[in-house]
Chain A
Amino acid sequence: MNPAIQGLLTIAIGVGGCLSYFYFSNQILDKVVFPARGPNAGKNINRANLVRPWLFLLPALLALGLYLAYPVVETIRLSLTERETLSDGTTVYNFVGFANYAQMSADPKFWEALVNNMFWLIIVPAMSTAFGLLAAQLTDRIRWGNIAKSLIFMPMAISFVGAAVIWKLVYDARPPGTEQIGVLNAVYVWFTGNDPQQWLTTPFWNSFLLMIVLIWIQTGFAMVILSAALRGIPEETIEAAIVDGANPFQIFFKIKMPQIAGTIVVVWTTITLVVLKVFDIVFAMTNGQWGTQVLANYMFNQLFVARDWGVGSASAMVIMLLVTPILYWNVRNARKEMR
C-alpha cells in the first residue's frame, strides 16, 4: 500500500478511533452502566462522574505508560543484563549485575563523551542564555526589534541536521593556496596569513565549534522567554532606580536581573535538557570522531554499531541520571504551584 494512503488511513483510524472511543465509552457509562434514571439515579450520576475522568485519561495513560514509563524500568533491567542468542535462535537476557557499567567505564570513549558532555552542559546553556538576554534587552528598545527577534529566533525551526550542513559549510577547508569557501577559514587566512585549518578534525577546539551550532539554535529560544520576562518587570522599580541616579548598567544588573532570575533558571534548565540529548549535530558533523564524542551519540553507537544493548542501556541510564536533578526540581515546582 502507498505510504501516503496508509498515512491518511492511519489519521482517519487514529483520530476516528479516539473520538469514537471517547464518545461511545461516555455513552455506555451514562446509558448502560450507570443510567441516570430509576431508583438509583442520583447515586448513578455520582458513580459515573467518578469513572469518567479515567475514560478521558485512559488512552493517554496507556501511551505514556508504554512509551515512557515502561522504557525507564526496562532500560534499568537491560543495563544489568547481557543479550545472548542461543544456538536454537532464541534470544535470552542473562543477568550480569554491573558488568555493563564496568565495561563502559573501561572504555576511554565513554569518558571522552562524559567529559565533552560536561563542557557542553556548562558552555551551551551559559552562552545561549547570555546571548538571549543580550538580544532580548537590545531588541526591546528599538522599533524594528520584532523583525530582529524573529530573525534571531529563526534557527529554532531548522533541524539539527540542516544546521549541521549550514555550519559545515562555514567550517569548510580547501587546500592552502586555493580560495577558501568556508567563512571561518576565509577570515582566518585573511587575518593571519596562515594556512587554512581543518577545523572539525582538530581535537579539543572542534567540540566548541559543534557547541556553537547549538548555541546558534538555542539563543532565539532564550531570547523569546527572557524578553517576555523583561517586559513583565514593573516599571515603578526601574523608575525608582532612575530617580535614585542609577546608570543603565546598574539598572540592568541590580534591578532587572534579580527580578527575572527565576526565568533565567527555567531557560537554563530547558537548554540543559536539550544539551543532554544532543545527538543529531554530533552524528552529522563528526560522528564522535576526533575527540568530539558525546553521551547520546556514544549510546547510539553502542546500540547500532556495536549492537551491545547492555552497554547501550547503561549509557542511557547515565543520561537519565544526569537529568534526574532537573526532573526532581521540576516536579517539586509543579506541586508547589498547584497547592
Chain B
Amino acid sequence: MDNIAGTKSSLTWAVHISVAALVALWLFPTVGLFVSSFRTADQIATSGWWKALFPTEQSLTLRTADPDTQTLVDGVYVIEGNLFTGEDLSEDIDMSAWGTSSRDVGAYVPGDTAELRDGERITVQANGEYRLESPVEMEGSRGQRIFVTAELPPDFTLENYQQVLFSGNATDSMAKAFFNTLTVTIPATIIPIVVAAFAAYALAWMDFAGRALLIAIIVGLLVVPLQLALIPLLKLHLGIGIGKGYLGTWLAHTGFGLPLAIYLLRNYMVGLPRDIIENARVDGATEFQIFTKIILPLSFPALASFAIFQFLWTWNDLLVAKVFLIDATGQTTVMTNQIVELLGTRGGNWEILATAAFVSIAVPLLVFFAMQKYLVRGLLAGSVK
C-alpha cells in the first residue's frame, strides 16, 4: 500500500518505532522468564533479570585462606593469597570496595589496610590479592570473612535445567510430567483427526437428509463450554469403570476437539474441486477409495492446521487433566499441573519455577515457529468464514 500516491507519509519512522515498541512490550515478559531460568537463586533474588544481561555491581562474601596456611615472616604471622581464586571467579574482576563487617560492606577502598581484633591487619588490593598479618599465631579453622563489592560480568548457569530435568527430585522434577504430557497429547491429537476426517467428508460431499441440520448442530457444539461436560462425564467415567486415567482423558479430548475438527475439515473439503471427485466416481472408485486416495492427501493443509490446534490445546490444558486424569497418587501429573503445584510449594523459588515453565512452553513454541503457516491458515478458515 506504500506505493499509492499520498499514503507514503513522513510518518514511516513513527510506524517503525511503534511496531518495535509493541514487539518489545509483547516479548519482554517471556524474555524475563527465559533469562531467569539461566540464573542462580541468589542472582534472581538480588537483582532484576534485566540487569543480568549487563555487568552488575554485586556484593560477594569471600574468605581468606585457612589459618593453617600461615607462615612466619620476620616475626609476623602472614597469610597471603587471592580472594577470587577458589571461588571460580576470574581475577580480572575490579573490586570497588571491601569491608570486614556485614554491617559496613563497603568500608574500605582497594589498597586500604583494615585493623582487625588482636592486632591483625589486612590489606586487600583491587585484583583480590590480600595480605593478612598478625603479631601472634592466628587460630580457628576458617579464614577471615571479607565482603567485596565488585562489578561482575553476566553469569549464566545450566544448573536449574539440571535440577528440573535430571535430578529426580520428586517436587521439582518435570521429567515424568513431561512424558505424561506427551502420553496425553499424541493420541488425543491423532484420534480426533481420523474420526473427524470421515465425518467431514460425509458432510461435505455426500447427499443425505438432515445434512444441513447436522452442520448447524456442530457449529452450535463448537461453543459449548467445556465446564458443562466436567461433572456428567466424570460421573460417567466413574460409573462405567474407566475412572481417572489416560483412557478417559483421551476420550474427553477427542470429544471436545471434534466439533472444531469437523468444522475446519468440512470447510476445507467443500472447497476441493468437484471434477476430481465426480471423475473418480464415474471411473468406479468406491467412496472409501475416493476418501483415502483423493480427499485425504488433498486435505493435508487442513489436517495439519487442526493437528496443531489440538496439539497446542491438549499440551497446554490444565482443566481436563485435573478432572479426568490426575488421581490422588499424583503419578499421572502433567506439566501444567506440576507448575501450578510448584507455584504453591516453591512460590519464591523463581529459578525452579522459571525453568519448569520454560521446559513446558519450549515444545509448543517450537511447534509454533515451525508450523506457523498452517496455524494461521487454520485460524483464518475457522473464523473469517
Contact = CB atoms under 8 A, between A and B. Distances in A.
Nearest to A59: B195
Nearest to B251: A67
Interface string B11-26: 1100110111011001
A59 B255 CA distance: 10
Given A157-B364, A161-B340, A224-B376, A60 B262 contact: yes
A56 B206 contact: yes
Range class of the A interface residue count: 35 or more
Among A134, A158, A300, A313, residue most surrounded by chain B Cβ atoms (within 10 Å): A158
A7 B183 contact: yes
A140 B179 contact: no
Interface string A246-282: 0010010000000000010011001001001101100
Among A11, A53, A303, residue most surrounded by chain B Cβ atoms (within 10 Å): A53
A159 interface: yes
Interface stretch (B98-106, B144-152, B162-170, B311-319): B311-319
Interface string B326-360: 00000010001001100100000010011011001
A159 B181 CA distance: 13
A248 B2 CA distance: 12
B286 A6 contact: no
Interface in A1-59: 3-4, 6-7, 10-11, 14-15, 18-19, 22-23, 26, 30, 49-50, 52-54, 56-57, 59
A277 B228 CA distance: 10
Given A3-B246, A161-B339, A60 B258 contact: yes
Contact of A166 (B30, B227, B233, B318): B30
B231 A309 contact: yes
B228 A15 contact: no
A132 B6 CA distance: 25
B224 A26 contact: no
Contacts of B44: 181
Interface in B90-143: none
Interface of B: 1-2, 4-7, 9, 11-12, 15-16, 18-20, 22-23, 26-30, 32-33, 36, 44-50, 179-180, 182-183, 186-187, 190-191, 194-196, 198-199, 201-203, 206-208, 211-212, 214-216, 218-233, 235-236, 246-247, 250-252, 254-256, 258-259, 262, 286-288, 291, 312, 315-319, 322-323, 332, 336, 339-340, 343, 350, 353-354, 356-357, 360-361, 364-365, 367-369, 372, 375-376, 379-380, 383-385
Given A52-B287, A155-B30, 10 more contacts: A3-B180, A52-B202, A75-B229, A134-B22, A152-B23, A158-B316, A165-B339, A219-B26, A299-B227, A316-B230
The 4 closest A-B pairs by CB, nearest first: A67-B255, A159-B316, A60-B199, A157-B368
Interface of A: 3-4, 6-7, 10-11, 14-15, 18-19, 22-23, 26, 30, 49-50, 52-54, 56-57, 59-61, 63-64, 66-72, 74-75, 78, 131, 134-135, 138-142, 144-145, 148, 150-162, 164-170, 172, 179-183, 186, 216, 219-221, 224-225, 228-229, 235, 238-239, 242, 248, 251, 263, 266-267, 270, 273, 276-277, 279-280, 283-284, 296, 299-300, 303-304, 309, 312-313, 316-317, 319-320, 323, 326-327, 330-331, 334-335, 337-338
